[in-house]
Amino acid sequence: MPRRVSVESLDRFRGNLQSLVAEKAKSLTGLRYCDLRIEIREEKGAVAENGAEKASSEDYAFDFGVRVIAGGRINAAGYFGRVLGTTDLDRLEDVVWDGITQAHSRARASARQKSQMKGRYAHLGSSLTSTELAPVTVCQDTVLAAYTVDPRQVPLSETVKMAVDGCKTLQSQGSNIVYSASSTSTFLLRELFLSSDGADIDQSFAQTEGFAIAICAGANGNFEHYDFTGHQRGWEVMTDGYSNGPIIIPNFMDFCRKLGADAVEVAAAPPLKPPDKEVTVVTNPHFNTLLVHEVVGHPSELDRALKYETGYAGRSWFLKDMQDNQLGNQIASPLVTAYSDPTIEGYGSFKYDHEGTPARRAYILRDGVLEEFLNNRQTAAIMGVAPNGSARSTEAQLVPLIRMTNTIFGPGQQDPQDIISEVQDGYYIDGHRTPSIAESRENFRITAVKVYEIKNGQLGQLYRDGGITSDSRDYFMSIDAVGNDLRVNPIPNCGKGQPMQAKRMSNGGPTMRGVARLTGPG
């Protein structure tokens, strides 16, 4: 009987795999670079519906991915990924070597074709270039997970009870909640990153997450309300909540209670009838969590800016080309600063990204001026800048993409109550719901959970089915107040890539005030 897969299983292979990548791989013809990511996740979780248990599971995930850059006069990259299991514990070096050779074969084949294509298209082929990676400090390090309650020690039955109790709590908020569901999960993830440059990085993460949804009957139709909670910590996040600076996470019962109460309140509200003009809007931290994600974070990803995502996730209005772009330009009010920082605490924290690049803060907007793109080693080489550690995948078998980390609007100086009380006529936009963003992120429509009228500095009538829309630059230039109430929230499911990868990260911001058009039903 083969051994059981656990995060400790990687201890046995770390040395041999490093030798495979850093020594044996170099014997492959034309190999310029190779890296291997291999990970094991021990996870458990449960689902409840309408207050009753529906499913639970305790399992592992074990997989690896390889990148090889190879060629001759011109280089190209090839990749390979595979799911692993218990039986692979006794043959892991052979399985990984097979993956390396397949990635190498693809890289060489692509390099040959790239060279031929350059020859076939004398002018149009001139931009086809050899694949290069910007240099990074080669690191060897071990990073331990932070938790109080080890996810592996939590009885599966406790995750079930938490999901069921959360669901019941949610449902108890109103008899007009016609459906409720919740889920809980907690896991310990260990990742190895090994490269032919000599990188040898061992990082572990504890992650705990909850989800709840309520569907609530109302005079104007059923209202769906859902949200996520979670943090890079152990099970204590669910039982006790977590609070540290801008991260304020309620325990799961309180999270479900508020979600249910909000659903009941909003379902009873009238639909917003938006005025046909721009209005003053005060957006709260939860709404700004999605706003910074969609309209600042995504266009700052350099793969989008360099057109890699033209076919799918879209480009970025921040960059037309290497010469004509918004770097150094004032594209937001001087009150607006936004940065991506995996070194601070959040749902997207790490010490090294999935290329082994040490993490650091990258200022996207500083005082309203576009300062830096999020990049990986390949796009950094094209731009001639230093990598800032933004390459990550959701699973080792998948190719790392340029990703937000903990990407937030920086806090300002004002009391959020003052920001509201200064408004004679306006609207308070509370909680994010669903985004629809233009292709290069130059325009957005984002709906809110709640929209309140502001009259004479006071919150008034609550409306449902509202939101705001604006051209991105106009909106950010209109920001005239930024609060001191920064909050950082988990975003568990940012989709990007082909096949799509749903990535966890943090986003957030303080209360902010600007000018936009309201949206309503339709």
Partner 1 sequence: MLPLADLRRAVKNALSFASAQADVEEVEVFASTGANLTVRLNYTSHIPSNGVEEPKSTESYGLGIRASFRTPGGVRTGFGSEPTDLSLEGAARALGKARSGAVSDAEYVSLPKLDSALQATPTPTQMKNAAPANYDPAVVRIGGKGLVDAGWRMMDRALDSFQSSEDLMGLTGSAEKMTELGLILGGDVVMFQDRMAIASTHIPKVQSEQNTLIMSFATAMVESQQSKGSGWSVVSKLADFNGEAAAEAARNAIASIGGQRIPSGNYKVILGPQPVAEILEWVLMPGLSLDMFFAGASPFMGKLGQMVASEDFSLYDSGGDPSLPSYKSITDEGLPTGRTDLIRNGKLSGMLSDYYNYQRILNDPAGREKLGVAPADALQSIAPRNGFRPGNGGGRDFGAAPGAISSNLVIEGSQGRTQEELFRLVGDGVYIGRIWYTYPVNGITSGDFSGTIIGDSYLIKDGKLAAPLKPNTVRMNDNVLRLINNTLGIASQHRATVRWSSDQVTWAPEIAIESFGLEEISEYMDGV
Q: Taking CB under 8 A as the criterion, which residues in 140-159 touch partner 1?
A: 156
Rule CB under 8 A: say whether 386 interacts with partner 1: no
Look-up of token digits 């004479």 = 456
| Separation CA 494–CA 503 (nearest Å) | 5
When binding is defined by CB under 8 A, the residue of 19, 310, 424, 458 that contacts partner 1 is 310
Rule CB under 8 A: say whether 124 interacts with partner 1: yes
Smaller CB separation from partner 1, 28 or 488:
28
Per-residue x/- track, 495-514, partner 1 (CB under 8 A): x-xxxx--------------
Residue 295, phi then psi, degrees to nearest 5? -110, -15
Smaller CB separation from partner 1, 417 or 498:
498
Smaller CB separation from partner 1, 196 or 316:
316
Of 7-15, 141-149, 218-226, 237-245, which segment contacts partner 1 by CB under 8 A? 218-226
Of 22-30, 183-191, 213-221, 413-421, which segment contacts partner 1 by CB under 8 A? 213-221
When binding is defined by CB under 8 A, the residue of 357, 397, 478, 511 that contacts partner 1 is 397
Rule CB under 8 A: say whether 82 interacts with partner 1: yes
Residues 257, 179, 432: CA angle, nearest 5 degrees: 60
Rule CB under 8 A: say whether 57 interacts with partner 1: yes
| Separation CA 426–CA 420 (nearest Å) | 9
486 near 288, Cβ under 8 Å? no
Question: Alpha-carbon torsion 209, 241, 144, 351, what sign?
Answer: positive
Where in 162-201 is the site for partner 1 (CB under 8 A)? 178-179, 181
| Separation CA 192–CA 61 (nearest Å) | 14
When binding is defined by CB under 8 A, the residue of 13, 43, 97, 128 that contacts partner 1 is 128
When binding is defined by CB under 8 A, the residue of 326, 330, 343, 484 that contacts partner 1 is 326
Rule CB under 8 A: say whether 52 interacts with partner 1: yes
Number of residues interacting with partner 1: please give it, by CB under 8 A: 100
- Closest distance between partner 1 and the C-beta of residue 430, in Å? 15
Where in 415-454 is the site for partner 1 (CB under 8 A)? 433-440, 442-443, 445, 447
Residue 233, token pair as written in the block: 């910590």
H-helix or E-strand spanning residue 98: helix 92-120
| Separation CA 193–CA 196 (nearest Å) | 10
263 near 513, Cβ under 8 Å? no
Using CB atoms within 10 A of its CB, is residue 434 exposed (0-12), middle (13-18) or buried (19+)?
Answer: exposed
